[in-house]
Chains A and B, each alone.
Chain A
Amino acid sequence: MIEARNVSKRYGPILAVDDLSFTVPSGEVTGFLGPNGSGKSTTMRMIVGLDAPSAGSVTIDGRAYAKHRFPLHEVGALLDANAVHPGRSARNHLVWLADSNEISRHRVDEVLATVGLSEVGHRRAGDLSLGMGQRLGIAAALLGDPGVLIFDEPINGLDPEGIVWVRRLLRSLAAEGRTVLVSSHLMSEMALTADTLIVIGRGRLLATGRVADFIERSSGHHVRAVSPDAPALADLLRDKGATVTDDGPNALSIKGIEASDVGIIAGGAGLVLYELMTQRASLEDAFMELTQEHADYRAPTEMPQPSRA
């Protein structure tokens, strides 16, 4: 279990992480979401003791990372897959890591096989493809068979097959009862992989909770109805307490009432329905909504139209 208690990190005038508290439980995949520059990586660096918090504390299984001895047996982290000496072979990269924590060479070959790099273990790390480098970073995290795993953007540079592989790996690690924290800016990926989310923006905690609840709570969740009698239907629904807005010709966007109830109301009034469906918000929508005011570096939503000559 990872526990952050009122953690702050200040770099000069910039408060990168601001009074952040959260718990990452074991046995599930916890997604760590936030726009670029929101403090995800800084928080992860503090979890593994690379940076010291300016205030507050971060512990893994009740102890600060620096208090762990041979920590690779307890915590595996992939923070930066490029952090390898390009001249050293992939296998030797794992061998020195293994040596530092009394992990056997046998285990080195085992994790190389797990990530599918047995064939290229002798190759210089600098000659590996982006995807292979990512797999090597994951192998390093798995080396000590740790109970806590931390991955910063693990699917960067992976091909579709690799992405599915990482997704399965994370799920299986969690199913074995391990603690798994994954940061990503790909919300769709989190929807498929994570059980719980921690969402931050500008270093502050914006929300935590189950992925399903996030989608449910989002304002993007609504019922769409198309009817030739749209205005009449809208009046009826408003009487029942629903919020109704126009959504194109004859179409209504309805919130606060289930699709089945819309059907019953329309049927009771003898109104014709051409179309009736529940529009589920994607995690993207939920996320964008949450981080709206907090995005530091997000591009404008609409691209400016090129002016015609």
Chain B
Amino acid sequence: MSQTVAAYRAPTTTVPGLRRIFRAATRSEWTKLRTVRSTMWALMFTVVSTIGLGVLLTALEVSRWDHRTLTEFKGFDPLLYSFAGLNVAQMAIGVLGVLVMTSEYATGAIKLTFGATPQRPLLLAAKVATFSAVVAAVSLISCVSVFFICQALLAPKHAGVSIADPGVLVAVVGGALHLVLIGAIAVGVGAALRRTAGAVAVLFAVLLVVPGLVTLLPSPWNDDITRYLPSSAGAAMAAVVHFPNLLSPLAGFIVLGAYTVGMLGVAALLLVRNDA
């Protein structure tokens, strides 16, 4: 006010635009991610489980190759075993994504976060962008590595595929993108529910329990519904051979992307409407 007494004077910087606030928020979120150990553990778990399980299951399949039945040959997806680890990796990414929000509510640090960036939807966007970038890097490295190792294992049986074969590159990138979208959905679930246990439970129920229940439905329904579940839509993105209960990779991406946008939209709305 007018009665400013002595040394202190209000800073006369220009008012930052939303883009600049977003950039600062992503930088801050990156600092948060890299300065906590749980991030490193979950990401390492993602890499190890993706590569480890893929290689293990592919090697097992190769070892019993000559005993396989004809039907097994017919529907063989050379990427199916390679990407088996993604199912486990998505759990690690899911938990980490939930924690991006819920750990701040648990410690109370969310008060500081909102205090520093009161533009809450922008902050959520910054969290999702930063986390997604990290997940994208880690899962791309994992998916590309496991692809090449597994195809090398399959090569002696002439069952491997090349990255240049139709649909293969899409599947490898799709596998990584699948993890990115699951991670983003998890951030949204964490923001909406605020509590780690509840958010993890909901996420796992949707990804693991619901698909199991849907298969119990009578015949045309089970496949019709399964196709549009987040888990199947994600799996479709990483498949080369297509089963009747899977969408095409592009359709899978659109469906899972729609879930992601929807979840984050709900989360942003709740963040704005509710007290911190």
Q: Please list the residues of chain A having a beta carbon within 8 angstroms of any beta carbon in chain B.
A: 1, 25-27, 45, 48-52, 61, 65-75, 77, 79-80, 82-89, 92, 95-97, 99-102, 140, 145, 147, 175-178
Candidates B29, B103, B116; contact of A85 at CB < 8 Å:
B103
Q: Is B60 an interface residue (CB 8 A)?
A: no
Q: Is B242 an interface residue (CB 8 A)?
A: no
Q: Is B141 an interface residue (CB 8 A)?
A: no
Q: Is B213 an interface residue (CB 8 A)?
A: no
Closest to B117 in A: A100
CB contacts (< 8 Å) of A147 on chain B: these are 8, 10
Q: A51-B275, A80-B111, A96-B32 are in contact. Are A26 and B4 (CB under 8 A)?
A: yes
B4 touches A99 (CB 8 A): no
CB contacts (< 8 Å) of B113 on chain A: these are 100
Q: Please list the residues of chain B having a beta carbon within 8 angstroms of any beta carbon in chain A.
A: 1, 3-11, 13, 15-16, 20-21, 24-25, 27-32, 35-38, 103-104, 107-119, 275-276
Q: A70-B21, A100-B24 are in contact. Are A48 and B115 (CB under 8 A)?
A: yes
A50 touches B276 (CB 8 A): yes
Q: A26-B3, A96-B28 are in contact. Are A83 and B107 (CB under 8 A)?
A: yes
B36 touches A85 (CB 8 A): yes
Most central of A51, A67, A99 by chain B CB within 10 Å: A99
Q: A85-B103, A100-B25 are in contact. Are A140 and B112 (CB under 8 A)?
A: yes
How many angstroms from the CA of A95 to the CA of B29 in the assembled complex?
Answer: 11
B21 touches A69 (CB 8 A): yes
Q: List 26 A-B contacts (CB under 8 A).
A: A26-B4, A27-B5, A49-B118, A50-B115, A50-B275, A50-B276, A52-B275, A61-B10, A66-B118, A70-B13, A70-B16, A71-B116, A71-B118, A79-B111, A82-B108, A83-B111, A86-B107, A88-B32, A96-B35, A99-B27, A99-B31, A100-B24, A102-B20, A140-B112, A175-B5, A175-B6
CB contacts (< 8 Å) of B38 on chain A: these are 87
B7 touches A177 (CB 8 A): yes
A68 touches B108 (CB 8 A): no
B111 touches A50 (CB 8 A): yes
Candidates B21, B31, B114; contact of A96 at CB < 8 Å:
B31
Q: A88-B36, A100-B117, A177-B6 are in contact. Are A83 and B112 (CB under 8 A)?
A: yes
Closest to B7 in A: A176
Closest to A98 in B: B28
How many angstroms from the CA of A1 to the CA of B31 in the assembled complex?
Answer: 32
Closest to B16 in A: A69
* Chain B nearest Cβ from A114, distance in angstroms: 15
CB contacts (< 8 Å) of B110 on chain A: these are 83
How many angstroms from the CA of A101 to the CA of B31 in the assembled complex?
Answer: 13
CB contacts (< 8 Å) of B5 on chain A: these are 26-27, 175-177
* Chain A nearest Cβ from B25, distance in angstroms: 6
Closest to B275 in A: A51
A100 touches B116 (CB 8 A): yes
CB contacts (< 8 Å) of B25 on chain A: these are 100
Closest to B23 in A: A102
How many angstroms from the CA of A196 to the CA of B29 in the assembled complex?
Answer: 39
CB contacts (< 8 Å) of A100 on chain B: these are 24-25, 27-28, 113, 116-117
CB contacts (< 8 Å) of B115 on chain A: these are 48-50, 71-72, 75, 77
How many angstroms from the CA of A44 to the CA of B112 in the assembled complex?
Answer: 13
* Chain B nearest Cβ from A101, distance in angstroms: 6
